[in-house]
Amino acid sequence: MFILYVRNAGVGTIEQTQNIRQGLSTRESRLLARLAGAGHQIISVDDIETTLEVPPNTAREIASRLTEKGWLDRLFPGTYLIIPLTAGEEAVYTTHEYLIAAHVAEPMYIGYYSALSHHGLTEQVPRTVYVVTPTRAQSREIHGVPYRVTTVTEQKFFGFEPTSIEGTTVQVSDLEKTLVDCADHPEFCGGLRKLATAMRTADDRGCDWDTVSEYLERLDNGAATKRIVYLADQLGIDLPGRGELVASFTSGYSLLDPTRPDTGSTDGTYRLRINVEPAMLEPTEP
């Protein structure tokens, strides 16, 4: 039996409400109490197996029963959201999308457009949550939110930092790596115009451009380097190590904005096809 204690804010007394949601066995109650007490919002079949010391098949059966009873919500195979008592009898509940994203792939970090929003480099809140991982994982939609998984090489999987979300640690790309990642894949941040706005905002907020240059060298992607150098020049940003970055340009011509048609003139200085008018790089957000 679960017991919910509700504090009455007006008089400071404790009211005891019993028998909220029926149908839990003693073992099921013990399981949920232990997992919730340890701060778990999202659990796996392995967590059930370990907590109750039961075989895998039994753990899966318990998860299935608790889902039918409305105490767990199956997010995707083998992973469940604990529905708290506060969700009420109808058990309508979800949690922060970053907490769900942390279970979509392992290891992972939140990146691209989602990280731009997290760092305040865009005022728009993207509907899609971008998950970066060096492993194979499936993009999916959970509770109406699309989770876009991008698999990168181990060489590109760096530059993230622990971030506390509702008391749980989630990895998010740091500000400098967010810019570099978006230069690597502008299609995952809304295009080059969004990246230009983000770089301008980041510069105003004291972005560490030395770190950006170091990250570009470590990423070793010619197109990303060209885009960052080009935008830095257009925006009047003093990019440390610019000469070394220019020297590392690959010989081929890359699209300035891969989200736009392959048109425009080529620029030998940057080894880019300029398919975005400079005027288009003006601020898009207040």
pLDDT digits (tens, 9 = 90+) for 225-248: 999 999 999 999 999 999 999 999
Radius of gyration of the chain measured on its C-alpha atoms: 24
pLDDT reported for residue 283: 60
Q: Using one digit for the tens of pLDDT, what is the confidence trace for 182-231?
A: 999 999 999 999 999 999 999 999 999 999 999 999 999 999 999 999 99
Phi first, then psi: give them for residue 172, nearest 5 degrees.
-130, 140
Q: Residue 46 CB: number of other CB atoms within 10 A?
A: 12
Q: Are strands 72-76 and 79-82 parallel, antiparallel or unpaired?
A: antiparallel
Does residue 20 register a pLDDT over 70?
no
Give yes or no for residue 84 having a pLDDT over 90. Answer: no
pLDDT of residue 285: 53
Give the β-pairing of 129-133 and 145-151: parallel
* Nearest CA-CA partner of 198 in 87, 121, 127: 121
Query: What tokens were used for 282?
Result: 């003006």
Residue 143: other Cβ atoms inside 10 A: 12
Single pTM value for the model: 0.85
Burial of 266 (0-12, 13-18, 19+ CB in 10 A): exposed
Of 2-16, 43-57, 67-81, which range is least confident?
Answer: 2-16
4 beta partners: 17
Instruction: Provide the residue count of the chain.
Output: 286
DSSP three-state, residue 132: strand
Write the pLDDT tens digit of every residue in 138-177.
999 999 999 999 999 999 999 999 999 988 999 999 999 9
Q: Are 28 and 54 in contact (CB under 8 A)?
A: no
Q: Which of 172, 174, 169, 193 is nearest to 183 (CA)?
A: 193
CA dihedral of 269, 275, 280, 286, whole degrees rounded to 10 = -90
Neighbours of 51 (CB within 10 A): 18
DSSP 151-199: E--GGG---EEEEEETTEEEEEE-HHHHHHHHHH-GGGTT-HHHHHHHH
What confidence tens digit (pLDDT) does each residue in 85-102 have? Answer: 776 666 667 789 999 999
Average pLDDT score over residue span 257-286: 85
C-alpha 3/C-alpha 25 separation (Å) is 14
What domains sit in the chain, N to C, each tagged with a CATH number?
A: 3-87 (3.90.56.20), 98-281 (no CATH)
What is the arithmetic mean of pLDDT over 21-34? 85
Which residue has better confidence, 243 or 84? 243
Q: Inform me whether the pLDDT recorded for 1 exceeds 70.
A: no
Cβ partners under 8 Å of residue 34, min gap 6: 51
Quickly count: other Cβ atoms within 10 Å of residue 267's Cβ: 14
